[in-house]
Amino acid sequence: MSVLRHRLSQRTGFALATINLDHLVKLASDPQFLDAYAQHDLVVADGNPIVWLSRLARRPVGLVPGSDMIVPMARLAAEANVSVALVGSTETALKAAEDGLSNSVPGLRIAARIAPPMGFDPLGEPGDIVIDQLKATDAGLCLLALGAPKQEIFAARAHARLPHMGFASIGAGLDFIAGQQRRAPLWIRRLALEWLWRALSSPRRMVPRYAQCAMILPYHAWQAWLLR
């Protein structure tokens, strides 16, 4: 968090991604996603499998779920007198997320709430419109809840246009704060079973995703072993 504190206070900006197995699946087949990731200057482990793979490679990293970073980042922004923009989800969810963050972080200033339309294209004209909207604010931190790979692709593009602004891709994090989705209880997260909670909560969407993640895990475990 010290890196984020420094960049927010100095208004030097950043693009932060939260890598997990689902991202590894997408990175292998989506060149635009891979290119966007290469332009990020901060990447944290958003899943226990990534942490386990890092330990297997003897290059350990800590677990930093994107959802757990939202309030701490908002606090850093408030301390640095930096306003925050919320992008993604729906206007209703963003308003609820603003209320939740404002209650949790005294002094926080929300500069904009932007809910792009369905089918948002981060590389097309809709992406240009959102970048222009962000440019018109004084925001120094933008929390992106567009889902992968759109949020990371947009973050890379927007950060290149607005280098003073920090962009953090946090997926469903704002929906959790807004109460639109319910996150797994803490004891389930401590048992590293949040994936099971999400699979049971939304089986049609999450079960195929986790099946793909399970399929690539042996290969990445082997690659991690070779890094020893």
Tell me the residue type at 221: A
Cβ distance 171 to 19 under 8 Å?
Answer: no
pLDDT of res. 227: 92
Question: Is 120 inside any structural domain?
Answer: yes
Question: Is 25 inside any structural domain?
Answer: yes
- Mean pLDDT over 160-178 rounds to 91
- Mean pLDDT over 118-144 rounds to 95
The number of domains in the chain is: 1
- Mean pLDDT over 112-140 rounds to 95
* CATH value at residue 153: 3.40.50.10700
Q: Predicted confidence band at 188 (pLDDT cuts at 50, 70, 90)? A: confident
Planar angle of CA 120, 141, 18, nearest 5 degrees: 65
pLDDT of res. 145: 94
pLDDT of res. 157: 97
Domain that holds residue 44: 2-182
- Looking from the CA of 101 toward its CB, the CA atoms found within 13 Å total 33
* Spatial distance between the Cα atoms of 195 and 152, rounded to a whole number of angstroms: 21
* Spatial distance between the Cα atoms of 136 and 98, rounded to a whole number of angstroms: 19
155 pLDDT higher than 90 = yes
Q: Predicted confidence band at 147 (pLDDT cuts at 50, 70, 90)? A: very high
Cβ distance 210 to 195 under 8 Å?
Answer: yes
Question: Is 58 inside any structural domain?
Answer: yes
pLDDT of res. 186: 84
Question: Is 195 inside any structural domain?
Answer: no
Question: Is 228 inside any structural domain?
Answer: no
Diameter of the chain measured on Cα atoms: 48
Span 38-76, pLDDT tens digits: 999 999 999 999 999 999 999 999 999 888 999 999 999
Return the percentage of the chain with pLDDT > 70, whole number. 100
Cβ distance 71 to 43 under 8 Å?
Answer: no
Q: Which residues contact 165 (CB under 8 A, 6 or more apart)?
A: 13, 134, 139, 140, 141, 142, 158, 159
Question: Is 45 inside any structural domain?
Answer: yes
- Estimate the crossing angle of helix 194-201 against helix 203-226, to 10 degrees: 150
Tell me the residue type at 113: R
Give the pTM.
0.93
Question: Is 199 inside any structural domain?
Answer: no
pLDDT of res. 198: 85
